[in-house]
Structure formats: C-alpha cells, structure tokens
Amino acid sequence: MVIFRQFETLLKHLYFLKKTTNGLGFGFVPTMGALHEGHLSLIRASRRECGVTICSIFVNPAQFGDSNDLEEYPKPIEQDIELLVKNACDILFLPSVEEVYPVDYVNQCYDLNGLDLRFEGKSRPGHFQGVCNVIYRFLSLIKPDFAYFGQKDYQQTVVIKRLTEVAQLNTIIRVVPIVRESNGLAMSSRNIRLSASGRNKASFILEGLEILQKNFRVQGISKAIDLVSWHIASFEGAELDYLIVADSTSLKEVKDEEHTDLVALIAVNYEGVHLLDNMILSQ
C-alpha cells in the first residue's frame, strides 16, 4: 500500500495509474479512521468493483460542533494501516488539516434541500455541511469513479447523493449494507464507548426495527412506532432520540403505510452514547 499526504503527489500517482492500467475504475473510501469491520466492508466492495482502491483517513474538523469531541476522536493510525494492508487497499491518503483546508479555503454552504437540518442535523447544526465540504474537496480533486459509504449513516448517504447532484460531481455513490456485531448492534466507532454489558444489551435497537418491520403494515405506522418506543423504554437507561419512517430518497416523513420505498431511521442514547441504526422496510 502506498501512502500519500498531499493532493499533489496523490494526483500525480493516480494520473500515472490511469495511463498505465487501461481504464481500471478508481474506488474511493473516505473514513475518519478507527477502522472496524464496517469500514473494511467498504474497502472490499471497492476492490470487487474497481481496479484501484483509495482510502482516506482524515478526522474532519468541519463536521464537529464540539471541539472536545474532535480532540477525543480515537486515532489508532498504526492499527488502521495494518488493517488496510491486510485488506489489500492500494492507496492510503492521510492529509493534514492544512492540506485539506488551506488558509485561503472558503467554507462552502451547499443547497441540501433541508436534508441536513432533519434528524441528526437537528442536534448537530452544521454537521452535514461540514461533511459536504470535505467530501467535495476529495471527490472534486481525486475524481474517483465510485465512492463507498456505509448504510449505517443513512442520512449521510442521502446528503452526499444530493451533494453530487448540486455540485455536479461525476462520482457514483455506492451504499454498502450495515455490518452488525454478533448481537445485531450496528458496527460503529462509537460502540467502544459502551460498557461490555451495555454493548451486549444494545441489541434492542435492531429488535426495535424488526418490531416496526413486522407491524407497520397491519397496525399502521404510528401504532408500530409506539410499540418500538415501549420496547426501547423497557431497557433501563435507553432513551429514544427519534424513530422516523421516511421516504427512502427524499427522507420526508411518511405516515401512510401504503407508501412504497420506506426507510426507518432510529437514534437511541444509551450510556451517554448516541447510537444510530436504520432499516429499509420491505413490502
């Protein structure tokens, strides 16, 4: 695996690869490091589809509201590099903050059609604009054919698809299914902040989504949401932040169970950790 820290050297290398590899696709996996199986599934998806896989590790200050959160974000870089090598990633891009946001960088505000203000956006103002700023920098310079994101952050995937439209980026966005721990908890860098017993019990989030999937057609969306709320509330210390059934493309809330293309989005605060999950609802 080759490591680059500057756009200039990375882009030169990619230019050379494009010329010599006869049109192999370039796949890009942006991450903030602290890699787990969820990230590795993105690397594997890129390797299946593309000739060259580029992963970036960059803890993006623009998407953190709280500077403590940013400072405390785990940075196990040696371990991350080892995992990327083991998973046959071709290129790691490891830029500094100054490289991504030079002194003359002007923060952009994208027209996200309100997608950035709902659900996760409510409690984290500016978060999705921060994500879009970094993703625009990467996609507009690296110009990968495909970029891979985890379905676990469903709202983020919808926001990024919108970004590619409004900013006219040519990269195709691929959404890779959620990878779960053995008890069903969606993999996330945040899971390490749970106690061992909390991590075990947190299977109630997926159970909640399964209750919704099982009941919403027959009982109606709002009754099914009540059933899930009671289930979550029965676990001490678990607080349901939101549970929304929405159109899977527009993310507009849906109350009518006959609507097709539905996604259920859930966020639960448990042991001080904000846990996200979601499920595409089948008919």
Closest CA to 137 of 171, 111, 89, 175: 171
Contacting residue, 41, 53, 60, 151, with ligand PAF by CB under 6 A: 60
- Binding of ligand PAF by 90 (CB under 6 A): no
Task: State the nearest-atom distance from the C-beta of 156 to ligand PAF, in Å.
Answer: 6
The upper half-sphere exposure of residue 193, i.e. CA atoms within 13 Å in the direction of its Cβ, equals: 15
Q: Based on C-alpha coordinates, what's the Rg of the chain?
A: 19
Question: Cα(first)–Cα(last) distance of the chain, in Å?
Answer: 44
Structural tokens at position 277: 């999950």
- Binding of ligand PAF by 131 (CB under 6 A): yes
SS3 at position 20: helix
- Binding of ligand PAF by 277 (CB under 6 A): no
Q: Are 181 and 191 in contact (CB under 8 A)?
A: yes
Residues 137, 42, 130: CA angle, nearest 5 degrees = 30
- Binding of ligand PAF by 30 (CB under 6 A): yes
Looking at beta carbons only, is 63 or 278 nearer to ligand PAF?
Answer: 63
Looking at beta carbons only, is 135 or 238 nearer to ligand PAF?
Answer: 135
Task: State the nearest-atom distance from the C-beta of 127 to ligand PAF, in Å.
Answer: 9
- Binding of ligand PAF by 129 (CB under 6 A): no
Is residue 231 part of the annotated active site? The answer reads: no
Of 39, 231, 259, 274, the active-site residue reads: 39
Distance (Å, rounded) from C-alpha 187 to C-alpha 36? 7
- Binding of ligand PAF by 35 (CB under 6 A): no
Q: Are 206 and 231 in contact (CB under 8 A)?
A: no
- Binding of ligand PAF by 144 (CB under 6 A): no
Contacting residue, 4, 14, 26, 32, with ligand PAF by CB under 6 A: 32
Active site residues: 39
Site residues, ligand PAF (CB under 6 A)? 30-32, 60, 63, 131, 134-135, 153, 156
